[in-house]
Structure formats: structure tokens, C-alpha cells
Chains A and B, each alone.
Chain A
Amino acid sequence: KNEVEQSPQNLTAQEGEFITINCSYSVGISALHWLQQHPGGGIVSLFMLSSGKKKHGRLIATINIQEKHSSLHITASHPRDSAVYICAALPPRADMRFGAGTRLTVKP
């Protein structure tokens, strides 16, 4: 069993829909990263969370340390949000454990 599980694996949405991507992890962590990888391959860091909730534009990330669960929400989704979203758990010793990624397609 992977230490970091993401769901769903694939997600197709219509423009404007509210989207949720989930990440569950089994390791103790000091932080959790949400990453975005566009079709061209480049990876961008969206959020780093150690507790609570963060918001950046239409993106919201939450984490529940007790339940070992994090969610990434996209409000008013747009075709340019189409990408692979990856969560990465950071145990205290600073090595990283990655989820398999969620491939999001937003149709106009």
C-alpha cells in the first residue's frame, strides 16, 4: 500500500464546476505539498501546508493532521486548470513521499 493515496486518479469536469481532489497519507509528516504539473511537464508548487487551510485565488487547500488527510479544491474551474495535481507528504527527516497524481481535465 502506498504511503500517500490520492483520489480520484482521473477527473473530468465542466467549466465552472467545483472540484475536490483528496490526499490521504499514512506517515507522520511535518508538512504536505500540493503540486501542479502541466501537460508540458513543468511542475509548480501550489501550497505547502502544516495545518489548517490556505487559499490562493480559486484554489483552496486544507489539511487535517489528526485524520491524515488533505484536500485541494478548485472553485469555478477553467480549462486552464487542466493538469496533473500531485500531493507530497514530507516526513520530519525531509525525504518526500508522493501520491500518484490526479489528472484533471476541465472541458469548456
Chain B
Amino acid sequence: EAQVTQNPRYLITVTGKKLTVTCSQNMNHEYMSWYRQDPGLGLRQIYYSMNVEVTDKGDVPEGYKVSRKEKRNFPLILESPSPNQTSLYFCASSFDSYNTGELFFGEGSRLTVL
């Protein structure tokens, strides 16, 4: 089944404790991206990747890192999480590098930083 898989789905952590949210797609998609969704602010893009080893900042990249070493994986790294990073996170992928095809979303990861 074609899908985008995020893990963990739910996580409660403490300030400063490094964490990684994994994202994997099995559709051989070129484009992958991360978003956060907050009440009153909607969806905002954190980082995106148009291909392996190519990543770019979105709207709100501060406090996050990403890597794209393989086509299928695009992990989101919070080196030193802070409470303002408490949010609902979505990973998505699309067939072509410029994201002009259908977007496939993961189920979301709800992160709470205490």
C-alpha cells in the first residue's frame, strides 16, 4: 500500500532532550517535506527536499534540522526541543521534485515539549 509513515505518532518529552521524528515513503517520490500545524496559525512548512541530498528551508525552520540521505526517508530532528515546538507535525511527499503532483501526507505526530 502506498503510504507515508511517521513515527512516533505521539510523544511527550522535556526541554532540551534531543528527538527525531522519522518519515518514510514507499512511492519512490522525489519531493518530501515537513509541516507543523498550530491552532490559529494553520499549517506552516518547516523544511522540504526536492531530491536526495537537497534540502531547503520553509517558513519556520528555526530549531529544526533535516537530512535526506536516502530517497525514502526524511527525518526531522529537534536538537534541543523547547515548549514552543509543541505542535502537530506532518510529513508529506510528492512524485516530482517541484511538488506539482498529488501530495501524500503522513498521519501526523503530536509532540508535547514540557
Contact = CB atoms under 8 A, between A and B. Distances in A.
Interface residues of B, number: 27
Contacts of B57: 95
Contacts of B59: 95, 97
Contacts of B103: 33, 35, 45, 48
A99 B42 contact: yes
Interface stretch (A15-23, A59-67, A70-78, A86-94): A86-94
Contact of B99 (A44, A96, A99): A96
B42 A31 contact: no
A27 interface: no
A43 B37 CA distance: 11
Given A41-B108, A42-B107, A44-B105, A94 B31 contact: yes
30 contacts: A30-B98, A30-B100, A31-B99, A35-B105, A41-B108, A42-B107, A43-B105, A43-B108, A44-B105, A45-B102, A45-B104, A45-B105, A48-B100, A48-B103, A50-B100, A86-B42, A88-B43, A90-B98, A90-B99, A90-B100, A92-B98, A94-B31, A95-B56, A95-B59, A96-B33, A96-B35, A98-B43, A99-B42, A100-B42, A101-B42
Interface of B: 31, 33, 35, 42-45, 48, 50, 56-59, 88, 90, 92, 97-105, 107-108
